[in-house]
A and B are shown apart, each in its own frame.
Chain A
Amino acid sequence: MAQAAKGKLNFRCPRCFMRDIDIDMFFDADKKEYYCLRCNFRGTEEEVEALNEQVKEKYGRLRERVTDFGADNRPPVFAPHRRGEQ
């Protein structure tokens, strides 16, 4: 097989991203899969994208907008964010 190359969008390894490591994956054209040089992950673009959605689960306020920072000793107040709104 020929050597692997970068994919079209510099996909990072989703498993490594979950442990706070940014490492670009390489694409194996023969097997049509991305793979990581550091951990043991390998997967298709769809698998990478699905894991990237899992990555975001740690951001509990991902879809929320702060409406008030409130009293010092209270958490901020959030509301659902609406598309296009700042």
Chain B
Amino acid sequence: MDNLFALNIIHRPELSPEYAERALGGRKDVRDESLDIFLFQQSAAHENGLKTTIQITYASLFSDKIVEIAKEHHGIYGDEIGLSLLGLPCKQFREKYKTEDFCIWMFDEETKKQIVDDCFSLFFEKFGFYPESTGSYFLDAFTINYIKKKYPSVKCAVATCWEEGPKAYHTCNNSWYTFMDGGPWNPWIPSKVNSHCPASGKEDDSGIVAIPHLSRDLMACFDGNGSNFGTHPQNVLRGMIYYKDGDSVEYPYLYNLIDEYRHLAKYNDGYCYNMMFVGPGWLNRAGRWEAPYELLAKSYRDGMKYYGKLKKEGKCVDMTMSEFADFYRERHPDYRRGECALWKDILYGSDKEYFWYADPALRCCLDFNQGGAMIDLRPYIARIPQETGIGTDSVWDASYPYLIQANYRAGYFTHYAGAGTVKSCKVHYHGQSADLCLCRTMASFRRTEGGVEITADPVTVLLDGLAIVIRSVFFFEDGTGKVLTRREIVNDLHGEEVEFEEYFTGGFGTTEYQPDMTKLTLGVGKEEFPFTYHGKKLSGKGTAHVSIPDVYTRVEMGGEADLCEVEEGIAFSPVYHLRASKKITKGAFETWLRLQREN
């Protein structure tokens, strides 16, 4: 298949965008300014030959002018008229719902349904049809299922903002309650049970194609603030990722980022994707993030200009959201195939490389600057039946739980005692040990029968004078929740025996803080014990496993091991350990990690 770079450009008119209202201090011309911003964004796209999806907000449905413009632009430019569940706040909304809340996933179930019905029926009244696309920063499974049942015309939705969670909260001085970590970075078909998880098949298909709210930098956003590193020109300004040349402000990073997304075609059968969705608040006349309006506007025009240039060169196909949904389904007939991204640093000047993988069973990140260590793992196979909003156990936290998150939970490096969450391998020889986390390398990608294989460039471990050259190979099996790891000895050890210890140090949760672990059960083979924070160990010939009822997950690790082991953490280091060890003189040590759903 030919490479195809699909692009969605989305504009939402808001008549009282929250940022503008606050920035302008309730000045009277907020309404007119908002309309101007929308018109500016539309013309920036159209001037560059690009079509858009107009996501009408509840507030703007009360404006005949907006409705008229949307119809006109649909007729002239082929823009799609969709309906956003963002932009709820307005006089009518506040009077009716008696609330200052504005995030659809945070309302109670009845109110979610009422708001959806309100928005969709008013949309129908104004346009005479129901929309094919909708969205919010985050859409939970409950809301998607309700929308799809009641308004089956909907086939595409903005449904998450990638890795927006504790990091965004901290960046916003602990005031921004958008916790939605753990979803896919690129479009996916959401499961009916949990919208973060890609559907496993027809019966699990929610009926829509979900897209992220931004195309984000898969390395910069893992550690830094997501809202600085996306295909969103004003995010780039917010991150101060620009330099001045005379009177001009330049931001090559924006183009590098778009290009890196284009490069992902290499790992996804020639398909790659980008979206730009800049809300009007980012373009207000008062300026934002030290940037005057003129710079905000220039950066937006430049973004559109670059996409327009790619389109003219035949390197990009602009689509409306519903067109994209059809295209995506055509291009992804197999639900189980993993979305892949071998991501290189394009910003800081390191040679770091991550491999991101997402399929219906798991999402995972390997860090080749740490020898291919697993630094993030989400058990999608568990289909955790999360509910969010008032009246549930999780009013604002919609993140999908991790088992490993090396930044929230320490990873390789800890202070003084304990261990952080990471999966890696230790090598032992003559009483000395080394962890592959300290072996920096890069890797190559290959699609194989039923999965993908990532091969790290060999690294050298030096123990008691013996150089051991090791190549790590990782195999992700499409949609099964199984990851194979092979540690190959590449050089001749002249009969010396070394021990490989593959290990998985895990936790679970959505934030930096570990919830109580006493519901966990650890075991090797048929022997088991409950988690009590006493550092208890168990080893034997069978498979090492842990059951974590809080996240409906069972983790198993095994392979051609001499010995498997489990160990519970202590109060100071609330984690669990799974290990598989083998002594060899040559050849390879192969282990597998398997995630399963467990009630």
Contact = CB atoms under 8 A, between A and B. Distances in A.
A73 B353 CA distance: 9
A69 B305 contact: no
Contacts of A66: 256, 259-260, 346
A72 B291 CA distance: 37
Interface string B248-278: 1010110110011001000000000000000
A84 to B, nearest CB: 7
B171 A22 contact: yes
Interface in B191-209: none
Interface string B329-345: 00000000000001011
Interface in B170-186: 170-173
A84 B248 contact: yes
Interface string B27-43: 00000000000000000
Contacts of B443: 72-73
A73 B263 CA distance: 14
A65 to B, nearest CB: 5
B172 A22 contact: yes
Nearest to B249: A83
Contacts of B260: 66, 69
B100 to A, nearest CB: 21
B246 A59 contact: no
Interface string A3-36: 0000001111000010011110000000000000
B348 interface: yes
Contacts of B245: 83
Nearest to B25: A6
B598 interface: no
Contact of A76 (B170, B172, B288, B346): B346
Contacts of A83: 245-246, 248, 250
Given A9-B292, A22-B173, A69-B263, A62 B287 contact: no
Given A17-B240, A22-B171, A75 B457 contact: no
Nearest to A22: B171
Given A21-B171, A60-B349, A73 B444 contact: yes
Which among B224, B252, B305 has the highest number of chain A CB atoms within 10 Å?
Answer: B252
B252 A65 contact: yes
- By size class, the interface of chain B is 35 or more
Interface in B485-503: none
B224 A52 contact: no
B241 A62 contact: yes
Contacts, number: 108
Given A59-B253, A86-B306, A76 B344 contact: yes
Contact of B243 (A17, A62, A84): A62
B255 A86 contact: yes
A9 B225 contact: no
Contacts of A55: 240
Nearest to B309: A86
Contact of B290 (A11, A20, A75, A85): A11
Given A56-B241, A83-B250, A20 B224 contact: yes
A72 B170 contact: no
B170 A62 contact: no
Interface in A40-76: 52, 55-56, 58-66, 69, 71-76
A52 B173 contact: no
Contacts of B246: 83
A52 B289 CA distance: 11
A65 B351 CA distance: 15
Which among A22, A64, A75, A76 has the highest number of chain B CB atoms within 10 Å?
Answer: A22
A25 to B, nearest CB: 11
Contacts of A84: 248, 250
Interface in B299-340: 302, 305-306, 309
A56 B239 CA distance: 9
Contact of B351 (A10, A38, A75, A86): A75
A3 B351 CA distance: 48
Given A9-B287, A9-B292, A22-B172, A62 B253 contact: yes
Nearest to B352: A75
Interface string B214-256: 0000000000110000000000001011110110101011011
Contact of B444 (A22, A71, A81): A71
Nearest to A7: B290
Contacts of A11: 290
Nearest to A48: B290
Contacts of A58: 348
A23 B252 contact: no
7 contacts: A9-B290, A22-B173, A65-B255, A66-B256, A69-B263, A81-B250, A83-B248
Interface of A: 9-12, 17, 20-23, 38, 52, 55-56, 58-66, 69, 71-76, 81, 83-86
Nearest 3 A/B pairs, CB to CB: A60-B349, A81-B252, A73-B442
Given A22-B289, A62-B243, 17 more contacts: A10-B288, A17-B240, A21-B171, A56-B240, A56-B241, A59-B348, A61-B346, A62-B241, A63-B252, A69-B259, A69-B344, A72-B445, A73-B443, A75-B345, A81-B250, A83-B250, A86-B309
